[in-house]
Amino acid sequence: MPATRTVTVGPHTVGGGKPLLFILGPCVIESLDHTLRIAETLRKYADELKISVVFKASFDKANRSSGKSFRGVGLEAGVRVLETVKKTFGFPVTTDVHEVGHCAPAAEVIDVLQIPAFLARQTDLLEAAGKTGRVVNVKKGQFMAPWDMKNVVNKLAEVGNTNVLLTERGTTFGYGLLVNDMRSIPWMQETAAPVIFDGTHSVQTPGALGDRTGGDRKMVPTLAKAAVAAGCDGLFLETHPDPDRSPSDGPNMIPLAELPTLLKACLRIRAAVESL
């Protein structure tokens, strides 16, 4: 596999052959209490499995299918929730930023600023995120070839930020379907940035439910295990205690109680790959 640089995320190091980094959490912040309950369970899993975890939850889902859909609790309240998660459970935290004005306020607390796939080419947003000095995780646009992500890495380097992660989350195939080409992992690693594989958004079926995005969560384990075998540096997996009742992306999230089985399988595959 192509050699990647290492990137430090809180107490964790990702890339360069370091242990898998797991970015875990719900799609969207529903409330402080709900978020803390998920974080508490993930803290237990992280300690039991001795894995590196970054907690993820979005304060705003700005690209919902319907304008009437729940978007989140907003920037100020969301950052406060994630700050509480960070202080209570010791997780580094990440969240999406959609606008230039989100970057500096979020960076006061957030360890990894995540650029959504739809915005992967937005130069002003990339530059604003990069200038904060925080780690920036850019999701590859569904409309982009993996080798085109070198331009994203270059834009961030031009503002002095090489603390960059790239995330594969599927490519648009026709209407309402995403597919994964596992070759995208080593291709994007040629930029030297560690590559994360997003197992849950890769199974989305955009707009499949009319005013909502559908998904097929039963395929998440297949794709996640394949990505680890292909040499990814980390996994992004959204999880929820009751995905079918989630206000956002429920069809592709993993039930929280089922997550350890997948994590253990991925760790065994990673060990097997390292032994080759």
- In contact, 130 and 159? CB cutoff 8 Å: yes
Write the pLDDT tens digit of every residue in 34-44.
Answer: 999 999 999 99
Q: Which residues contact 41 (CB under 8 A, 6 or more apart)?
A: 241, 256
Q: At 190, is the pLDDT very low, low, confident or very high (cuts 50, 70, 90)?
A: very high
- In contact, 28 and 247? CB cutoff 8 Å: yes
Return the pLDDT at 177. Answer: 85
For residue 67, give both structure tokens: 């304008």
How many angstroms separate the CA atoms of 233 and 21, rounded?
Answer: 7
Average pLDDT, the chain: 94
Question: What whole-number percentage of the chain has pLDDT above 90?
Answer: 86
Question: What whole-number percentage of the chain has pLDDT above 70?
Answer: 95
CATH (residue range 7-270): 3.20.20.70
Write the pLDDT tens digit of every residue in 142-163.
Answer: 999 999 999 999 999 999 999 9
Angle between helical axes of 259-275 and 220-229 (0-180°, round to 10): 20
Q: Which residue's structure tokens are 């794709």?
A: 223
What does DSSP say about strands 195-198 and 164-168: parallel, antiparallel, or unpaired? Answer: parallel
Amino acid (one-letter) located at 193: A
Q: Which residues contact 244 (CB under 8 A, 6 or more apart)?
A: 250, 251
Q: At 249, is the pLDDT very low, low, confident or very high (cuts 50, 70, 90)?
A: confident
Stated pTM of the model: 0.95
Return the pLDDT at 66. Answer: 57
Return the pLDDT at 134. Answer: 98
Write the pLDDT tens digit of every residue in 112-147.
Answer: 999 999 999 999 999 999 999 999 999 999 999 999
Q: At 243, is the pLDDT very low, low, confident or very high (cuts 50, 70, 90)?
A: very high
Given a cut of 90, whether residue 250 has pLDDT beyond it is no
Return the pLDDT at 126. Answer: 98
Return the pLDDT at 175. Answer: 79
Angle between helical axes of 100-107 and 75-89 (0-180°, round to 10): 30
69 by DSSP, 3-state: which? Answer: coil
Query: Cα dist. 19→6, 88, 109, 227, 268 in Å?
Result: 11, 24, 25, 14, 12
How many angstroms separate the CA atoms of 231 and 225, rounded?
Answer: 10
Write the pLDDT tens digit of every residue in 65-109.
Answer: 556 667 889 999 999 999 999 999 999 999 999 999 999 999 999
Q: At 211, is the pLDDT very low, low, confident or very high (cuts 50, 70, 90)?
A: low
Given a cut of 60, whether residue 62 has pLDDT beyond it is yes
Return the pLDDT at 67. Answer: 62
For 258, which DSSP code?
A: G
For residue 102, give both structure tokens: 């989100």
Return the pLDDT at 145. Answer: 97
Given a cut of 70, whether residue 169 has pLDDT beyond it is yes
Given a cut of 70, whether residue 238 has pLDDT beyond it is yes
Return the pLDDT at 154. Answer: 98
Q: At 248, is the pLDDT very low, low, confident or very high (cuts 50, 70, 90)?
A: confident
Q: Which residues contact 268 (CB under 8 A, 6 or more apart)?
A: none
How many angstroms separate the CA atoms of 86 and 127, rounded?
Answer: 25
